[in-house]
Amino acid sequence: MTWQEDYRRKVMQPREAVQCIQSNMRVYIHPGCAEPETLVEALMARGPFVKNVEIVHLLTTGRADYIAPQMEGHFRHNAMFIGSNVRQAVNEGRADYTPVFLSQVEEMFENGQMPIDVALIQVTPPDAHGFCCFGVGVEATMNAARNAKIVIAQINDQMPRTFGDCFIQVNEIDVVVEVSRPLCELRPVEITQTHHDIGKNVAGLIEDGATLQLGIGAIPDAVLLELKDHRDLGVHTEMLSDLAIPLIESGVINGSRKTIHPRKIVLGFVLGSKKLFDYVNNNPQFEFHPSKYTNDPFVISQNHKMAAVNSGLQVDITGQVCADSIGTSFYSGIGGQVDFIRGASACKGGKPIIALPATAKGGAISRIVPMLDPGAGVVTSRGSVHYVVTEFGVAYLHGRTIRQRAEALIEIAHPKFQEELYAYCEKTRWLQRPALQEN
């Protein structure tokens, strides 16, 4: 049988395609801008006929109707990175959260710790050789599909064709649903003056010839805006946003000094707008790889001058970084933060950077705190932390004592909270104010 014949016999209507999903199965959904929305809609219609189906995925931006109260008992979501669409359900106990390094997600599918029954993926139509491309995101999905018992593919002619280790053969797909619909887009985040100030401080740490990783949120985007005058930057990252495009077009990002994959932008997925999807389409500058490769700290460390920029929600005075929860309320996930912090700290000339605004809630509270809120999750430990950056400056913590860390962090806290932080450190005897001299 030719691959064309094989393909044709696999084509079904969406509702027919998801009939194979039975009670007690685990279903993986292709995340981010690659979410196969037609398949997810069909799965929702199947809801009343199944019980206890676990839906597992990384960050998605779609409607996530499986967390609706009326779906209780039919579906239960397990988030490996919590998006705004499922945050409330996780915190109301209607969905679960699995904290995991992005570099280790695929291993769970492979070693049987988290077996996948059905993978819902979205890919391009097959090329002349019968290969479909994962397009805007290969991350954990190619290996989820490779390890799933059943692969249902939404074949979308609007999915860009990209390059790298990001293809699946028609013979690896069990069911095909053909669509033509725009991909999910991520709304641009608002970049405030504070983000710009932080971006400038971070950009001051990034040397010409560095290789960048940029995490999620407004700050990584603000950093990109401040790199216009840099030269010969490279990219090795899990994700990339629209704001990288001007730097690539102007030649600031050219990868010429990269020590692995020279000239190539190595990434796992893009999160952004149609403009970005069109930009990566058939663009040989981009090389998409699974997360177990992009996020492997050993691979990351082979890049020289790796500048890894991620954000946090709270940092305590010893340098512990909380990034996935606000107290006991789960907010996002671990993602690739630790993978890149570890990789960048092991490489020649690397700079692992945590950048965050000094305050939250319109300036009412400090994000640099004496102690993390009860329940706050440490994502980057005080052993792994290096640079912490706010709009007030840069604190270098690695290899420094608790006293030196406290001094450095108080300096980059908002001035209105500095006295309170100092007083706490005096009480714990971590800092002593110099005795006033009598004359």
Q: 286 with 164: CB under 8 angstroms?
A: yes
Question: Segment near ligand COA (CB under 6 A), from 13-21, 141-149, 159-167, 310-318?
Answer: 310-318
Answer yes or no whether residue 160 interacts with ligand COA by CB under 6 A.
Answer: no
> What does the angle CA 330 – CA 333 – CA 334 come to, to the nearest 5 degrees?
135
3-state secondary structure of 27: strand
Judged by CB under 6 A, the residue of 109, 331, 392, 417 near ligand COA is 331
Q: Provide the minimum distance between the beta carbon of 399 and ligand COA in the complex, in angstroms, as a whole number.
A: 23
Tokens of 20: 């194979």
Q: Provide the minimum distance between the beta carbon of 176 and ligand COA in the complex, in angstroms, as a whole number.
A: 31
Tokens of 157: 């002619």
Q: Provide the minimum distance between the beta carbon of 228 and ligand COA in the complex, in angstroms, as a whole number.
A: 22
Answer yes or no whether residue 421 interacts with ligand COA by CB under 6 A.
Answer: no
Answer yes or no whether residue 164 interacts with ligand COA by CB under 6 A.
Answer: no
185 is catalytic: no
Q: Provide the minimum distance between the beta carbon of 282 and ligand COA in the complex, in angstroms, as a whole number.
A: 26
> CA 276, 280, 283, 284: dihedral to nearest 10 degrees?
130
Q: In the range 90-129, which residues lie near ligand COA by CB under 6 A?
A: none
Judged by CB under 6 A, the residue of 332, 384, 390, 418 near ligand COA is 332
List of residues 6+ apart from 86 with CB closer than 8 A: 60, 64, 67, 77, 79, 95
Answer yes or no whether residue 291 interacts with ligand COA by CB under 6 A.
Answer: no
Judged by CB under 6 A, the residue of 323, 353, 406, 413 near ligand COA is 323
> Rounded distance, CA 124 to CA 155, Å?
5
Question: Segment near ligand COA (CB under 6 A), from 152-160, 277-285, 312-320, 424-432?
Answer: 312-320
Given the residues 37, 139, 238, 287, select the one marked as catalytic. Answer: 238
Tokens of 438: 């009598």
Write the binding mask 355 to 384 for ligand COA: x where contact by CB under 6 A, - elsewhere: -----xx---x-x-----------x-----
List of residues 6+ apart from 360 with CB closer than 8 A: 313, 367
Answer yes or no whether residue 219 interacts with ligand COA by CB under 6 A.
Answer: yes
Answer yes or no whether residue 272 interacts with ligand COA by CB under 6 A.
Answer: no
Q: 138 with 165: CB under 8 angstroms?
A: yes
Judged by CB under 6 A, the residue of 216, 271, 347, 410 near ligand COA is 216
Q: 290 with 139: CB under 8 angstroms?
A: yes
> Rounded distance, CA 107 to CA 121, Å?
18
Residue in 71, 12, 15, 62 with CA at minimum distance from that of residue 39: 15
3-state secondary structure of 405: helix
Judged by CB under 6 A, the residue of 313, 385, 389, 412 near ligand COA is 313
Judged by CB under 6 A, the residue of 35, 221, 287, 324 near ligand COA is 324
Strands 53-57 and 306-310: unpaired
Q: In the range 182-211, which residues lie near ligand COA by CB under 6 A?
A: none
Residue in 142, 144, 186 with CA at minimum distance from that of residue 165: 142
Write the binding mask 336 to 355 for ligand COA: x where contact by CB under 6 A, - elsewhere: xx------------------
| Rg of the chain taking only CA atoms, in angstroms | 23
Closest to ligand COA by CB, 262 or 375: 375
Answer yes or no whether residue 87 interacts with ligand COA by CB under 6 A.
Answer: no
**Phi, psi angles (nearest 5°) of residue 369:** -130, 155
Q: Provide the minimum distance between the beta carbon of 103 and ligand COA in the complex, in angstroms, as a whole number.
A: 11
Closest to ligand COA by CB, 197 or 324: 324
3-state secondary structure of 424: helix
Q: Provide the minimum distance between the beta carbon of 405 and ligand COA in the complex, in angstroms, as a whole number.
A: 18
Answer yes or no whether residue 80 interacts with ligand COA by CB under 6 A.
Answer: no
Total residues contacting ligand COA by CB under 6 A comes to 25
Q: 200 with 226: CB under 8 angstroms?
A: yes
Answer yes or no whether residue 320 interacts with ligand COA by CB under 6 A.
Answer: no
Closest to ligand COA by CB, 62 or 312: 312
Q: 211 with 254: CB under 8 angstroms?
A: no
Q: Provide the minimum distance between the beta carbon of 213 and ligand COA in the complex, in angstroms, as a whole number.
A: 8
Q: 265 with 255: CB under 8 angstroms?
A: yes
> Rounded distance, CA 394 to CA 353, Å?
10
Q: Which residues are catalytic?
A: 238
Per CB under 6 A, residues contacting ligand COA are 215-219, 310-314, 323-324, 326, 331-337, 360-361, 365, 367, 379
